[in-house]
Structure 1
Amino acid sequence: MNYRFQNLLGAPFRGGNAVITQNTQLISPVGNRVSITDLLKSKTLTLPIQSSSNICRLAVSPNGTFLLTVDDNNRSLFINIPRHVVLHRIKFKYPVYALQFSPDSHLIAVATGKLIQIYRAPGFKKEVFAFELVKTFADCDVKVTALNWSPDSMYLLAGSKDLTVRLFSVDVENTKHKKKPFLFLGHRDSIVGCFFGVDVKNNNRVNKVYTITRDGFISSWRYGEISSNDGNVGEIVGVNSEPDSPGTPDRDGDGTLVKRRKEFDGKDSNLRENKGYLDGVKWELLRKDGFNQLPAKLTACDYHRELDMVVVGFTNGVFGLYQMPDFVCLHLLSISRERITTAVFNEVGNWLAFGCAKLGQLLVWEWRSESYVLKQQGHYFDGNCLAYSADSQLLATGADDNKVKVWTVSSGFCFVTFSEHTNAVTALHFMANNHCLLSASLDGTVRAWDLFRYRNFRTFTTPSSRQFVSLAADQSGEVICAGTLDSFEIFVWSMKTGRLLDVLSGHEGPVHGLMFSNINGVLASSSWDKTVRLWDVYGGKAAVETFSHTHDVLTVVYRPDGKQLASSTLDGQIHFWDPIDGLLMYTIEGRRDIAGGRLMTDRRSAANSSSGKCFTTLCYSADGSYILAGGSSKFICMYDVADQVLLRRFQITHNLSLDGVLDFLNSKNMTQAGPLDLIDDDNSDAEEGVDKQSRRTLGYELPGAMPNRGRPIVRTKCVRIAPTGRSFAAATTEGVLVYSIDESFIFDPSDLDIDVTPEAIDAALNEDQQNRALILSLRLNEDSLIKKCIFAVSPLDVPAVASSIPYRYMQRLIEALSDLLESCPHLEFILRWCQELCKVHGNSIQQNSRNLLPALKSLQKALTRIHQDLADTCSSNEYMLRYLCSLGTKK
């Protein structure tokens, strides 16, 4: 039962900025979590760390060890990336618009409001006050929007909304003497980015500055002359009267400027070596260039110092790559029609990462070969349904954006998207062969997808248009059934011919639950008419049995062995039925367990509210011992079926940016007009926030509805347990959450006494008693010892040892073998073990398949993956294998 959060699918990017560390690790915020994508291994991982609200900014140390995140509530987390733990926490007084580690990793610059604060970067040791504030710059008039460190960590550029860029000298040792910053003037809009340029041939010395503004202009600055006022603000040298025209680098036309720079380098080299080589230096405007994308605004930019390149993104979805300082356009392409939220280089400079928050899109593009390294996009709206494949390797999701996506669970990547549906996808079902996926939609169609050729090979329709909200297929895959929302009927088709076979009528409300029994093929359906009906689909008869309830039935599921039926009702109860005898076995009262937080618009407390206190989705475990239940709440409940007790509650999120997370409203935020959060007094530009029209477009707010500030409501729409029983997935407001027990260790001995110890196991191995050692390790139930004893058995002794293993230890042994198949290189040896176990204990496994089903599914998953890998390897080396075989024949 020790499920832990493993990954988050379906929402690669939701806003903020993305960074690439260690040249191949892409780090991006996903709501209040952080996702790390390995661009070489094509694998994504979501850290099991949650912030209090949506993350708006993040920064990574140059060595890729530490991560600093800041959320919408100005709360910051200092995270150790390799260990996935939070080391320190801090809360800033004002909103943070930019933050960056210094290149030497010793300092952190934070732009909080119109202040620039310099902190010493915390380390690995525990400290009471980990963030030591060493310096504060309060020279800006309005909020600071961009920061950039010099390569030697001595200077800092800061761009502000007051149309200026300031050059600060960061001398943390000298706190008394404060030097005034140099001002870069002449901009016509707020600063989006400011960057130091270096001379690669001269030990990466700073020799230029680039400033980029929101109106789509880039200004190039370089050394001018020494100021006589010892570091105070001087006049800008060389700025033309017309700002839009490029300045001339040599004002006198006879090389006077170059001569003065050489004299400066020779006479004042001591000043440069004494940590002040930019103090007192004036800068002049070299040139000013426009990107020519009006009326679009520039929203994202980045600069690569070694390549001297600039990448920019605009509100119209266009991005440009330019070679500086000559401003040569290398690429000018369009990603979409939506605003580019972030654009960033990797360390080498061959990859560009782009993010679009509105589309949930994340792209990594190699500009030299003009090819995609990564192209991931989550669902535009919340997910409605999901389904596991039979071997638990694939996960399909459907949402209100009319799309069906199929994900690889191990990597967290979406490898195919089907978009033929014209309305919301409401139900999904994987066929037993893993090669076919069924989807039902409100557009009146049920579609069958081929996962080999990635196409829609069959479409099931009705004589008149209907809205389908539930879907089921029998074990053989020959019969397809779908329940409707409007006509209250169940339609039955033939999978081979696509012909409509039957229409089952009798329900008087929407049919939101359908499922076939695995033993006799009886179809169970649930409806809002307060009944659950059983249908003999093959016999063409009407309802065989009807189970009446006192409230609307929201969903129905069969236990995997088909001997029990569970249904959820609107009053928050789960009813368990015996489908053979037609009797009610027992009932679980879950209103108190599922009750979540209160909404911002609620006039009652969460305890007194009647909304959301019911289960809308149910799922049995692979062995039927427990059941998962979710609904319009922040909790997913796990119940023991036999004892009808709550085993555990999973809180899907702590994100305060969602509605329904808090149990109590803060009395400090209450006014005479209602909660302070509901009063719309936001005067920020529509470009920086989400305006009302965008909220309605995203489905967060409806015209005429009570104001919610566009906050989505936390809920769980679908829960499914993997056939292996090792993980489960939940389609929630935050995305598809995947919980797993594969990486957690639990000491759970099965037959322990005083003689069963690790020392006794080692002694048996030393005495060549492999049989006894393996049985002792299975009784102790410690994973490392079991695997050690398995490898201690010689291949010739495997049949004898396998025949002596008692059946009660069979499940643990199969789980250990399936785990070894995933990671062990000794494939033939492990397959020999599996073969002998099936030979010796075949009858016992068949008779007790229900208890061993999760372990057998895990073994099937591992075998299927290895078979696919070997097939791909052999097909790609077909001609080499033929050549080697021909050489062997000749010899």
Structure 2
Amino acid sequence: MKLKRFLLRYYPPGIILEYEKGGFLRTKSIDLLDLTPETNPDELVEEIRQSEPLVTKAQSDQVKQLVIRLQKKQTQQDHHRFCFSKELKAHILPLTNVAFDKSGSRFITGSYDRTCRVWDTASGTELHVLEGHRNVVYAIAFNNPYGDKIATGSFDKTCKLWCAETGKCFHTYRGHTGEIVCLAFNPQSTLVATSSMDTTAKLWDVESGEEVATLTGHTAEVLSLCFNTVGSQLVTGSFDHTVAIWDVASGRRVHTLIGHMGEISNVQFNWDCSLIVTGSMDKTCKVWETVSGKCVATLTGHKEEVLDVCFDLSGQLIATASADGTARVFSTATHQCLATLEGHEGDISKICFSPQGTRVLTASSDKTARLWDAHSGVCLQVLEGHTDEIFSCVFNYEGDTIITGSKDNTCRIWY
């Protein structure tokens, strides 16, 4: 094994090693999720050297400089104020979803008008219209970090794979007997996972277009799914009140997470794959250990259904969004509620952290999106202008651009 070079990853903080093994170029990451500006760089470099044989004593100084660069990035204050840039009359019917590619230079929108559209972020120019579905395009994704493919899932029970550069359709995945409502690429971009109203999830081969596995066991619609960061496991959440962890290689169910008293609204792994967070219509959110399948915490406080839940990139915070019009931020370590985000006048259907983890973005049926300080819960900004409910909002990877998608058939770009 021969180390070729180091690459820096800002969100979450880490160092990527690019090395040669058996004539092939490979990568592995050293995750520095607990890094703070106060961390002693020399001690950390020594720890890295002890645990990573590819890093030699001669490279200590180089690694130290990378650690210091990551710490500098963390001390940059995030005072960015977003200004409305453009409104795109994106579709002739309401939007269902919006998603960025890794670079943030392009984004996609799905719609009830049966199309997915690809946009240039800077100019707002429409690059491609992905046509061919016979019903609502409900689920959309880029194969990040590569960004050269797009998957679309539809109420027509099919999923399509497209070339992001040309808009050409590579494959149509057929096999579900119900509407497709969620999808994701694995991190290696070799598989697409889809979940459906037919109570199953399926894995599809990106290259061949073949079905790889059908994941059966849920007894009601499967509405959410998520790969872990290494792509070895998939988690699915269902209206049957349960969550399942699957081994991707074998298609076998590893654990069934039982404890919620209502339908599951969302599921997510944390970055190091050790925990899973789930939101439910039972007004609670639960945290589970991936290895044992045990519930380690129930996060309470919402008066209505929890409609969305997510970890920040470092996995240290959890945010929940509810039909009670509030959002909450919890500590992953202590399970304490750190902040309650109050101000919306309608359901909050979507929530996400900025890549830095310092801010929270919410989308609501009150026609606004709001930006909050993740630690104090103070509302920093109200993003106004949509004329109907907003049900999708995303940050780009740098955290300096936001897209909001609305039932008013438009999306808005905020810089």
What TM-score range do you get, normalising by the shorter chain?
A: 0.5 to 0.7
Matches within 5 A, 1:248-259: none
1:427 aligns with 2:205: no
1:536 aligns with 2:289: yes
Aligned-partner SS, 1:401: coil
Q: Aligned in 2, Cα 1:495/1:47: closer, same or farther, shift over 3 Å?
A: closer
Matches within 5 A, 1:117-516: 376-377=130-131, 381-391=135-145, 393=147, 394-406=149-161, 417-462=172-217, 465-485=219-239, 487-516=240-269
Counterpart of 2:254 in structure 1: which amino acid?
A: L
Matches within 5 A, 1:442-841: 442-462=197-217, 465-485=219-239, 487-519=240-272, 521-540=274-293, 542-551=294-303, 552-592=305-345, 613-643=346-376, 644-652=378-386, 661=387, 714-725=388-399, 727-729=401-403, 732-733=406-407, 737=411, 739=413, 741=415
Q: Aligned in 2, Cα 1:520/1:470: closer, same or farther, shift over 3 Å?
A: closer
Contact 1:3/1:727 (8 A) holds in 2: no
Contact 2:358/2:375 (8 A) holds in 1: yes
Aligned-partner SS, 1:591: coil
Q: Aligned in 2, Cα 1:395/1:45: closer, same or farther, shift over 3 Å?
A: same
Distance 1:436 1:585 in 2: 37
Instruction: Please list the CA deviations of residues 257-303 of structure 1 after superposition, one character each: whole Å capped at 9, or x if unmatched.
Output: xxxxxxxxxxxxxxxxxxxxxxxxxxxxxxxxxxxxxxxxxxxxxxx
CA shift at 1:387, angstroms?
3.5
Contact 1:472/1:482 (8 A) holds in 2: yes
Distance 2:409 2:357 in 1: 26
Distance 1:406 1:724 in 2: 26
Q: Aligned in 2, Cα 1:379/1:496: closer, same or farther, shift over 3 Å?
A: same
Distance 2:211 2:390 in 1: 29
Distance 2:174 2:329 in 1: 38
Contact 1:12/1:376 (8 A) holds in 2: no
CA shift at 1:470, angstroms?
1.4
Distance 2:405 2:242 in 1: 26
Distance 1:553 1:514 in 2: 12
Q: Aligned in 2, Cα 1:532/1:472: closer, same or farther, shift over 3 Å?
A: same
Aligned-partner SS, 1:651: coil
Distance 2:275 2:224 in 1: 16
Q: With CA pairs under 8 Å and 6+ residues apart, which has the higher RCO, 1 or 2?
A: 2
Distance 1:735 1:583 in 2: 38
Q: Aligned in 2, Cα 1:452/1:633: closer, same or farther, shift over 3 Å?
A: farther
Distance 1:738 1:408 in 2: 24
CA shift at 1:44, angstroms?
6.8
Q: Aligned in 2, Cα 1:376/1:556: closer, same or farther, shift over 3 Å?
A: closer
Instruction: Please list the CA deviations of residues 669-706 of structure 1 after superposition, one character each: whole Å capped at 9, or x if unmatched.
Output: xxxxxxxxxxxxxxxxxxxxxxxxxxxxxxxxxxxxxx
Contact 1:514/1:526 (8 A) holds in 2: yes
The percent identity for this pair of structures is 21
Counterpart of 1:555 in structure 2: which amino acid?
A: D
Distance 1:378 1:638 in 2: 36
Contact 1:6/1:48 (8 A) holds in 2: no
Q: Aligned in 2, Cα 1:732/1:417: closer, same or farther, shift over 3 Å?
A: farther
Contact 1:392/1:724 (8 A) holds in 2: no
Greater Cα shift, 493-502 or 627-636: 627-636
Contact 1:385/1:718 (8 A) holds in 2: no
Contact 1:626/1:638 (8 A) holds in 2: yes
Q: Aligned in 2, Cα 1:647/1:523: closer, same or farther, shift over 3 Å?
A: same
Counterpart of 1:438 in structure 2: which amino acid?
A: A
Counterpart of 1:719 in structure 2: which amino acid?
A: C
Instruction: Please list the CA deviations of residues 776-824 of structure 1 after superposition, one character each: whole Å capped at 9, or x if unmatched.
Output: xxxxxxxxxxxxxxxxxxxxxxxxxxxxxxxxxxxxxxxxxxxxxxxxx
Instruction: Please list the CA deviations of residues 717-768 of structure 1 after superposition, one character each: whole Å capped at 9, or x if unmatched.
Output: 4434343546555554466847375xxxxxxxxxxxxxxxxxxxxxxxxxxx
Counterpart of 2:369 in structure 1: which amino acid?
A: I
Aligned length: 311
Instruction: Please list the CA deviations of residues 27-60 of structure 1 after superposition, one character each: whole Å capped at 9, or x if unmatched.
Output: xxx99xxx9x9xxxxx8779989xxxxxxxxxxx
Counterpart of 1:548 in structure 2: which amino acid?
A: T
Q: Aligned in 2, Cα 1:484/1:44: closer, same or farther, shift over 3 Å?
A: closer
Structure having the larger proportion of residues in helix = 1
Q: Aligned in 2, Cα 1:616/1:532: closer, same or farther, shift over 3 Å?
A: same
CA shift at 1:633, angstroms?
4.6
Distance 1:729 1:503 in 2: 35
Q: Aligned in 2, Cα 1:439/1:724: closer, same or farther, shift over 3 Å?
A: farther
Counterpart of 1:468 in structure 2: which amino acid?
A: V
Q: Aligned in 2, Cα 1:501/1:520: closer, same or farther, shift over 3 Å?
A: closer
CA shift at 1:511, angstroms?
0.6
CA shift at 1:399, angstroms?
3.9
Unpaired runs of at least 5, structure 1: 15-29, 38-42, 50-81, 85-373, 593-612, 653-660, 662-713, 742-891
Distance 2:140 2:201 in 1: 15
Q: Match for residue 4 of structure 1?
A: 85
Counterpart of 1:471 in structure 2: which amino acid?
A: L
Structure having the larger proportion of residues in strand = 2
Q: Aligned in 2, Cα 1:511/1:453: closer, same or farther, shift over 3 Å?
A: same
Unpaired runs of at least 5, structure 2: 1-81, 95-109
Counterpart of 2:258 in structure 1: which amino acid?
A: S
Contact 2:353/2:359 (8 A) holds in 1: yes
Contact 1:44/1:411 (8 A) holds in 2: no
Distance 1:720 1:588 in 2: 18
Contact 1:385/1:731 (8 A) holds in 2: no
Distance 1:45 1:579 in 2: 36
From the CA coordinates, give the structure whose radius of gyration is larger.
Answer: 1
